[in-house]
A = this chain, B = another copy of it.
Amino acid sequence: MTAQGMGDRGVAIVGAGLVGIGWAIVFARAGLAVRVHDSSGVRLGDVPALMRRSLDDLHDAGLLDDPDAVMARVSCHADLHEAVRGVDYVQESVLELVDMKIGLYRDLDNLLDAHTVVGSSSSGIPSSAFTAGLGIAPNCLVAHPVNPPYLARIVELVPASWTRPETVDAVHALMTRVDQHPIRVTREGEGFVLNRLQGALLREAWALYDEGYCSLADLDATISEGLGLRWSFMGPFETIDLNAPGGIRDYAERLGGLYLSIARDRTNPQPWSADLIARVEAERRQTLPATDLAERGAWRDRRLMALAAHKKAVADAG
């Protein structure tokens, strides 16, 4: 097997929730054969209809030419062995429960060929927590996407200490092949990278609200009508590199003191108390009643799709 050919023998998706279905779209859209397994027959039975709906949405947004061709590359398998037999890659996407993952990886340890690589969609549990002692452990890592992965390209690759470097390289090549944007995290750490960055922003936003500086809606607007615009096409380092005449060093020397001083306000992190959560919930429900959550989630998905089409058009235009 060469890195270039990774995926030629097909991939398996284990766990057919929203994340698993999203992955099936990513791989099948890129031309790979995809076998989907779920231990729940009901969930597995829903896969074709749910996939079809998302593919039609992608088609309507101008992001996909031929939904039928994508559907034709996907098969569903109630039997785990049948799903994973002979594939190059397994994308594990079961629930974020460590015992469930431990059980599944034991089964995979018995079923997989020596060459098969396994990426876990885990958003928080490191793979060392469910691959310790297994023969396949050197072939396993976390490959954590943002939902839905067919619209957000980022995938963080997080190896355990025993993951082979070649495993990381192979998954990096596969993700690049299917047009995702893989990043290499050097080692396990709580929250990996993506949720640490999200957590830092959330922590400050919750604290500012708790201290009465701003309403929830105004804090949200600070991102959605301000900082978040640039962040949709360039990261925080590139942002500050372009925000001082002399680049990132110039910026750091000018503003490092301010940011250090701000950070020193936050040296005593407190839990989000039940009272604080209740206040946040009450204010948020005034903006969006609980009965409208699902509808707003569909709106978010349409916006993400329109944004993906926009980014693609801008990139194609050079």
Give the complex CA separation of A269 and B183 in angstroms. 26
Question: Which of A183, A212, A215 has the most chain B CB atoms inside 10 A of its CB?
Answer: A183
- Knowing A240-B202, A303-B314, the reply to whether A235 touches B220 (Cβ < 8 A) is yes
Which residues, 136 to 177 on A, are CB-close (under 8 Å) to B? 146, 151-154, 156
Which residues, 292 to 315 on A, are CB-close (under 8 Å) to B? 293, 296-297, 300, 303-304, 306-308, 310, 314
Which residues, 202 to 234 on A, are CB-close (under 8 Å) to B? 202-205, 208, 212-216, 218-234
The reply to whether A272 and B256 form a contact with Cβ atoms under 8 Å apart is yes
Give the complex CA separation of A252 and B280 in angstroms. 10
The reply to whether B253 and A277 form a contact with Cβ atoms under 8 Å apart is yes
Contact of A203 among B189, B194, B263, B300 (CB under 8 A): B263
The reply to whether A193 and B220 form a contact with Cβ atoms under 8 Å apart is no
Q: Does A290 have its Cβ within 8 Å of any Cβ on chain B?
A: yes
Question: Which of A181, A214, A264, A278 has the most chain B CB atoms inside 10 A of its CB?
Answer: A214
Q: Does A41 have its Cβ within 8 Å of any Cβ on chain B?
A: no
The reply to whether A268 and B271 form a contact with Cβ atoms under 8 Å apart is no
Q: Does A262 have its Cβ within 8 Å of any Cβ on chain B?
A: yes
Which residues, 243 to 263 on A, are CB-close (under 8 Å) to B? 246-249, 252-253, 256-263
Return 27 A-B CB contacts under 8 Å, by A number: A151-B229, A152-B225, A154-B221, A183-B221, A186-B213, A187-B213, A191-B258, A193-B222, A199-B263, A200-B200, A205-B236, A223-B235, A224-B232, A228-B231, A228-B233, A231-B232, A233-B303, A241-B288, A242-B297, A246-B290, A248-B284, A249-B278, A252-B277, A257-B271, A260-B272, A267-B269, A303-B314
**Seed contacts A153-B226, A190-B258, A219-B236; 11 additional CB < 8 Å A-B pairs:** A146-B226, A151-B229, A196-B262, A197-B204, A200-B262, A220-B235, A224-B233, A228-B232, A249-B277, A260-B271, A263-B269
List the interface of chain A (C-beta within 8 A of B). 124, 146, 151-154, 156, 181, 183-187, 189-191, 193-205, 208, 212-216, 218-238, 240-242, 246-249, 252-253, 256-272, 277-278, 280-281, 284-285, 288, 290, 293, 296-297, 300, 303-304, 306-308, 310, 314
